[in-house]
Each structure stands twice: as C-alpha cells, then as structure tokens.
Copies of this chain bind each other. A is one copy, B any other.
Amino acid sequence: MTQHDDGPRPLPSRRALLRAGLAGGAVALGGPALAQLGKTNPANLPPNVADWSKMLGDGVAVRTYGKPAKFESHIGRRDVSWLTASPQSSVSFTPLHEIDGPITPNGLCFERHHAGIAELNPTDYRLMLHGLVDKPLMFTLDDIKRMPRVNRAYFCECAANSGMEWRGAQLNGCQYTHGMVHCVMYTGVPLKVLLQEAGVKPNARWLLLEGGDASAMTRSLPLQKALDDALVAYRMNGEMLYPENGYPVRMVIPGWEANMWVKWLRRIEVGDQPWHTREETSKYTDLLENGRARRFTYVMDAKSVITSPSPQAPVNHKSGFTVLSGVAWSGRGKIARVDVSLDGGRNWRTARLDGPVWDKAIARFYYEFDWNGGELLLQSRAVDETGYVQPTKDELRKVRGVNSIYHNNGIQTWLLHRNGEVENVEVS
C-alpha cells in the first residue's frame, strides 16, 4: 500500500480552501445541478416547481411525537445477532458515520443487553439502598424525581468497543469498530445525595449495583467514585430514558466502562469489599500474555475515530475541498486536542474542536483540507487534559498482548482509495 505524504505544510486559509474546494462543491448556475432542475432564469425560481411547493403537507395534529424523515429510514443501529447466542444477549451499534456534533440522538444510542430489554412499569419501580447504612431506604420513581438533580453530558462506552480490532483490522466501518459508544445529556440525582440520606457507615468502601432485568447485572463500584460524580439518572437528552437504555432509572458512572452503568437499577448495597461478580471476574477483565488478568480496569482511556471519511461514509467527489470529521473522548477528563494524520501517522496536524467540549464526553473534531485525489491513510489521535495521548494499536499490543477483548483504545487507520472508497487497514 502506498503512503502519500503531502507534508507538514501550513493550513491554508478558510477563504482559500473554499475558493479551491467549492468550485467542485457548489454548482454555479448553468452547471449540472441546474440542468437537473431544468433551464431557468437565475433570478427566478425554476419553472418546474416541486410538488412540495404546490400542495399542503401534513398538519400539526399528525404526530404528537416526531420522527425522522422517511428519506432517512436507512439510518439506524445495526445489530450482530448472528454473532451472539441470541438477540437478547447481543449488541447493536451507534451509526457514528451518520450523525454529527457531540450528542447522540436517543433513537440511535447503541444497545448491549444480557437478557433483553426489561420492560419496567414505572408505578411498581423501586430502588433499594441498604447494607452498611444507618437507614435502609426504598425509593419510588416519584421519590427520585423529587430530589435535587443535575444535567451532565457523558460518553458511555462498552469496554468491548473496538474489541475485534485487537487481532488486526477486521470490521469495515466505524459503526462496527467504534459504535459501542454514545453521548447524551443525562438528568439525574447525584448518587452521593442518596448515600448521604441513608447515612454510610465508617467501614463502607464499596457498593454493589444491581439491575432489575433477568440477568440481574451486578457490578462492584468503589465508594469514592460513587461520591465523586456517579448519577442515578432517569432522563437522556431531556426526556425519560428509552427502555433499551434502562428506563426508568440507570446508573451513570462518568468515564468508566459501560458495563458498570447498570440499567433498570433496582438495588444498591453498601459493603466493605468488592463482590467479585461474574462481570468483574470472568468478564470485563483483560487477559495478558503471561496468563495474568488485569481486573477492575474501569477507566475508558482517551480514544478517537474518524467518522467521515470512513468505510460507511466514502468520499463522493474526485478531489478538492474535503471535511474530515470525527469524535474523541476520554474517561479521565476533557479532550484537550485531537491530531489528524493523512499519511498513517508520519505527520500530524491539529484538528478543529467544534461545539461543547465537556468533561468525559464526546467532543467533535473537524479537519478541512484540499484532497489531491490520491490515496491517504487517515488517522486521528486524541489527547486529554491529563496529557495522556491515544496510543497506536501496536503500542497497546506490546503491553497487553492480543488475548483481550476489552479496552482497545488504539489509533484507527482508514485507507482512502482514489475512487473515494475507504477501508479499515493496519499500519506499522
């Protein structure tokens, strides 16, 4: 594979880029686009007025709850039920290549279930808080909604996101390689508030979080994290959680692996040591080359991926002005910078972060450039506010081997072909 290096030149001005790029992008009147619309006097509307300009559309009473245009119905989560034991113990992926900005729409947030989507009745919902506390408590949903609440946007990433890539480039599309992440604005009660209300005993060190679904998902959580920034959340992007995301109540453990964000939360027990549940012994541990396993590897380290161009979002023009876009996030804080390489990591340029850059949330980046039409090896590299730099896959493999499924935050490489198609490749 040829690596084209267009060198560490200064970024051209936006005006120059536009002049260069949009000659091919926007079509001047009289060009091909106009021909499609029929010959017109540029000062007036096209004579073949579209149907939608001539007839009344649906009224406001048609839908009390809106949905995307029918022309966007191809956009959706994609599942891999063929790969898993059943669709109830499976995963569906966020279409990262079909969204923009920092926020994931609620309808497109990835799913991972162990016993399907539990259908909880909000009236009968209860959350029990007990164990090493002064006063065990049982909360109704109304109780929880009545408490002081906060609004915070956080990314939620499955520890197994990009897991297939440990053994090389395998999945052709960022939806599949990186789609087990989403980022929404949560509304919830700080877990600290509930714990303060119950009164935590002096020897308390750990919590058990338990889900109400048939898998009774259980994870141990250090008390310190619970007091730091964990939320008992019931809303996402303003509305109540969707069923597949834990309706009516889920845990939000900012920056930590999604398996701990217990959905359909029914019980919190306070104890003095971890419980060593299935999900923190058999699963969600990282088997190293020497046969030992890393455990309690909670934090999702800084990571990024280019969402466009990408295998599912090829380039439709032959050359010229091109917007590269992607997402970056870190479990240790804010994204400080994202670098982009067009030559497989030999040269790096700073991308433009745009929109909110929140703590432990997805940040959106762009890099605008003048594509010469040749092959490129596209990479992005996230740097977080602690100074941590996203490693290459090979750097990760040197330390952790290739036995693991989890915690692959290595740099992703896309090969942009001359015909605009994009392929998942490895570089070394």
Asked whether, in the complex, the Cβ of B213 is within 8 Å of the Cβ of A92, the reply is: no
Asked whether, in the complex, the Cβ of A53 is within 8 Å of the Cβ of B213, the reply is: yes
With A45-B267, A65-B77, A187-B101 known as contacts, the answer to whether A120 contacts B50 (CB < 8 A) is yes
User: Residues 54-87 of chain A: 1 if any B CB is under 8 Å from the residue's CB, otherwise 0?
Assistant: 1111111111111111111001111101000011
Looking at A100, A150, A322, A364, which has the most chain B CB atoms within 10 Å of its CB? A100
Residue of B nearest to A71 (CB): B122
Of the candidates B52, B66, B358, the one whose C-beta lies within 8 Å of that of A119 is B52
- Contacting residues of chain A (336-356) with chain B, CB-CB under 8 angstroms: 354-356
With A138-B27, A187-B100 known as contacts, the answer to whether A146 contacts B116 (CB < 8 A) is no
A11 beta carbon closer than 8 Å to chain B: no
The smallest beta-carbon distance between A184 and chain B, in angstroms, is 9
A387 beta carbon closer than 8 Å to chain B: no
Measured between beta carbons, the chain B residues less than 8 angstroms from A75 are: 65, 239-240
A155 beta carbon closer than 8 Å to chain B: no
Looking at A54, A193, A243, A248, which has the most chain B CB atoms within 10 Å of its CB? A243
The smallest beta-carbon distance between A35 and chain B, in angstroms, is 10
With A57-B88, A124-B50 known as contacts, the answer to whether A104 contacts B33 (CB < 8 A) is no
Asked whether, in the complex, the Cβ of A150 is within 8 Å of the Cβ of B354, the reply is: yes
Identify the stretch in A14-22, A166-174, A378-386, A394-402 within 8 Å (CB) of chain B at 4 or more residues: A14-22
Asked whether, in the complex, the Cβ of B54 is within 8 Å of the Cβ of A214, the reply is: yes
The smallest beta-carbon distance between A366 and chain B, in angstroms, is 7
Asked whether, in the complex, the Cβ of A244 is within 8 Å of the Cβ of B66, the reply is: yes
Asked whether, in the complex, the Cβ of A69 is within 8 Å of the Cβ of B242, the reply is: yes
Asked whether, in the complex, the Cβ of B37 is within 8 Å of the Cβ of A264, the reply is: no
A212 beta carbon closer than 8 Å to chain B: yes
Asked whether, in the complex, the Cβ of B101 is within 8 Å of the Cβ of A78, the reply is: no
A275 beta carbon closer than 8 Å to chain B: no
With A57-B115, A65-B108, A119-B57 known as contacts, the answer to whether A368 contacts B212 (CB < 8 A) is no
Of the candidates B56, B104, B121, B153, the one whose C-beta lies within 8 Å of that of A71 is B121
- CA A401 – CA B228 in complex, angstroms? 52
Question: A interface, how many residues as a size bin?
Answer: 35 or more
Asked whether, in the complex, the Cβ of A197 is within 8 Å of the Cβ of B138, the reply is: no
- Contacting residues of chain A (158-187) with chain B, CB-CB under 8 angstroms: 185, 187
Of the candidates B100, B115, B143, B149, the one whose C-beta lies within 8 Å of that of A56 is B115
Asked whether, in the complex, the Cβ of B135 is within 8 Å of the Cβ of A60, the reply is: no
Measured between beta carbons, the chain B residues less than 8 angstroms from A150 are: 354-355
Measured between beta carbons, the chain B residues less than 8 angstroms from A332 are: none
Asked whether, in the complex, the Cβ of B60 is within 8 Å of the Cβ of A81, the reply is: yes
The smallest beta-carbon distance between A190 and chain B, in angstroms, is 10
A392 beta carbon closer than 8 Å to chain B: no
- Contacting residues of chain A (106-148) with chain B, CB-CB under 8 angstroms: 106-109, 111-113, 115-122, 124, 126, 128, 130-131, 135-140, 142-143, 146-148
Residue of B nearest to A186 (CB): B101
A43 beta carbon closer than 8 Å to chain B: yes
Asked whether, in the complex, the Cβ of B113 is within 8 Å of the Cβ of A43, the reply is: no
With A71-B121, A122-B71, A240-B68 known as contacts, the answer to whether A113 contacts B214 (CB < 8 A) is no
A105 beta carbon closer than 8 Å to chain B: yes
Looking at A86, A212, A239, which has the most chain B CB atoms within 10 Å of its CB? A239
- CA A156 – CA B69 in complex, angstroms? 20
Interface residues of A (CB under 8 A from B): 14-15, 17-19, 21-22, 25-29, 31, 33-34, 36-37, 42-43, 45-46, 50, 52-72, 75-79, 81, 86-88, 90-92, 98-109, 111-113, 115-122, 124, 126, 128, 130-131, 135-140, 142-143, 146-153, 185, 187, 193-194, 196-197, 212-214, 216, 235, 237-245, 247-248, 264, 266-267, 316-317, 321-323, 354-356, 358, 364, 366, 368
- 14 additional contacts (CB under 8 A) given A54-B214, A60-B112: A25-B143, A29-B137, A37-B138, A46-B126, A52-B119, A56-B115, A57-B116, A60-B77, A62-B87, A68-B239, A101-B238, A146-B323, A152-B355, A185-B355
